[in-house]
Structures are given as structure tokens and as C-alpha cells.
Amino acid sequence: MTGQGMRAYFDHCATTPVAPEVLAAMTAAFREDFGNPSSVHAFGQAARRRLEEARRQVAEALGAAPGEIVFTSGGTEADNLAILGVVRSDPRPRKHVITTAIEHPAVLESCAQLEREGVAVSRVPPDSRGVVDPEAVRRALRPETALITVMHVNNELGTVQPIAEIARLAREAGVPFHSDGVQAAGKIAVRLAELGVDLYSLSAHKLYGPKGAGALYVRSGVRLGRILFGGHHERDRRAGTENVPGAVGLAAALELACRELPAESARLAALRDRLEREAAARLAPLEVNGAGAPRVPHVSNLCFEGVDGEALLIALDLAGFAVSGGAACSSGAAEPSHVLTAIGLSRRQAGASLRFSLGRLNTPEQVERLIEALEQSVARLRARVAASPHA
């Protein structure tokens, strides 16, 4: 078994380690400004200044106004606030929501809750590459459509959705448009004014920030009801004493990611392409799920024909490599990935697929070691299947 020092982390879509620069910024906030930012005394006002500086940094990184940033406990709360807050505040008796079949559970479950409340929901399917057609969204529109919600980057495939085009048709129809940007912010360039979205969700721990911190962009003028009740925090949009160190961590992480984006994107794309090229050459039959679609540079979802994905994941873990069978938030589920079945994979193919998501920790040497471990593990598992009397 490989020692901890030799372990390699290829699961950056699930979470990321906190960057030293982020930790330093948060530590200063913990030590120096512990006051409640709603308090009127000097301690509270010092914390308020630090919170508002973090808000300004997040807004600047995204091309938004500071007043349009609502700090949350993470991406899940941001998605819930956007979806439930917009739809529940719509006064019409009959309401309809458009989403896609490949969204994160935070979006799908929010929509399922609205269905239980009597709201109709349309789930637009993607194409075989994992990309949603804006025309399919247009065809799903109804007079009573209260919200369109489509993720920016899919968390399992890394496919980039045509958000600007969907935003245009939403604006033409007069329908608010939300995008889950948890896997996009800090990974590709995000300028909210250019995208044209009305609401956009972020999570700090996906971009080398802390867990338990996130934000929701709410374009000025968008009607948004509360889902948490209490004080008048976050301009009456999100009750609860603000997590100042978390907001500082999100701001520092986003600023760092944007600064490093061009160089890091090129580096990760080269590593990802090498992994896919070598895997295809040495591990055939193998398919790249989402191949041919616009993708973020650091995600690769591979289908290893004739292999049980869970067995391969465990074999790789024993060899010192952390990878994923799909969305970390739905791990433990017996059902195959809803994303992979939505793009047309069979249950068997979905069960033979693993996600590799690269990040700051990964090196060319680690990728080479991963390919070697894959070669050994896949060969062993395929031989076991071939030797089985049921094969």
C-alpha cells in the first residue's frame, strides 16, 4: 500500500485544499476582527469593514456590483435561495420552472421541492456530449414560466453549457435566469454582465477556499424572497450573522484563482489531455464521456469498458490515487449517475466510468504514475471478469 506521502489527489471537483494565501487571509480575520458585523461598536464595525471589503473583491472578480453579492453557507444554499426565493415570490397562481436533466442535486432537489408545492418543472435533456441546446430550453417555455436554471459547468463531465445564449432567450421571454456556477468560477473566465444571468451561485471550497462559505449573485432588480428567517442581514436576503472569515476566504480564493487562471488553465489542460491520450492508447476499449463538447481544462470522465467502476476506484485508492465515481454529493447512491444516463450511457457503462479532476496539487509525474496504476488495475479487473463463469 502506498504511503500517505506518495498519495495523489485527482478529485478537485469534490473539494480542494485551502490555499496558503487563503488561510492567511482567514487567520487574520479570525484573530483581528471577531466582532459581530451587525454591532454598532468599534469591534463590530471593524468586522463589517472586512466583510464589505470581501464583498467588493467578489463583485470585482465577477464583474458585478457589491450590492448584488449575497454571502451564503455554500453552493447548495445559494442554489436553494435562488430557486426557492425567486419562484416562491412570484405571485402567479400557476408557475413553471425549466431546468436540465444533468444539474447538481442542489438544483434538482430544490426543483423537486417546488413540484411538491404545486409548481410544474420541465427537465431539458442534454445531447450525447452533455451539452444542453438553448433551442430545447426555448421550446420548454410557457406563459407561466417563473425561472430557468441551468448550470454553467457540469460537475461530472466538465462540459460548459451555452449560458450566454440561454440568458438571451430568457431575457427576451422576461423570465429570470439562474446558473449554478460552482464548478465554473475560478476555473474559466466568468464575467456576469457578459453572461447576462440574473442569479449565479458560487462555492469557496471548489476553488481552494473554505467549506461552509459561498455566495449568490442577484442582479439588481430581481425579486428574491427569503428562505431563512431572522434578522435583516445581507440586505434582508439571507438572515443569520455573517461568516466573516468564510467571506474573506471566498474573496481571497476567487481573487487568487482569477489571477492564476490563464497559466493554470493551460497547465491543467496539458495534463488532462495527456491522461486522456495515454489512457486511450493503453487502456482500450475506453471512451471519454463528454468528448467533443466545450469542457473546462481540468476534468476528464472516462468509461473503462468491461470494468466495474467502484472496484477500480478502490484499487486506485489502495494504489494511492483519489478519484471519483461521480458527484461527491451523491456518493453512496446505488443508482448510476443521472448525468451519465442522461447522455445515453447504459447502467453498465455509467457504472464503468470514473471522474478525474486535476488541480494545483497535480504534476506530470503524478499523471504518469496514475496512468501506470490504471493500466495495472484495469488489466487485473478485466482479467477477473474474463475468468468469471458468468462472463
Give catalytic status of residue 258 as yes or no: no
Angle at 253 between CA 332 and CA 109, to 5 degrees: 35
Conformational region of residue 103, where left means phi above 0, alpha means psi within -120 to 50, and beta covers everything else: beta
Longest dimension (CA), the chain: 76
- DSSP annotation of 204 reads G
For helices 244-282 and 42-62, angle between their N-to-C axes, nearest 10 degrees:
30
From the candidates 13, 258, 303, 329, which is the catalytic residue?
329
Q: At a CB cut-off of 8 Å and minimum separation 6, what does 173 contact? A: 138, 141, 145
* Order of strands across the sheet that contains 353-357: 286-289, 299-304, 353-357
CA nearest neighbour of 253 among 58, 55, 77, 50: 58
Conformational region of residue 332, where left means phi above 0, alpha means psi within -120 to 50, and beta covers everything else: left
- DSSP annotation of 17 reads P
* φ, ψ (nearest 5 deg) of residue 324: -135, 150
Return the active site residues. 329
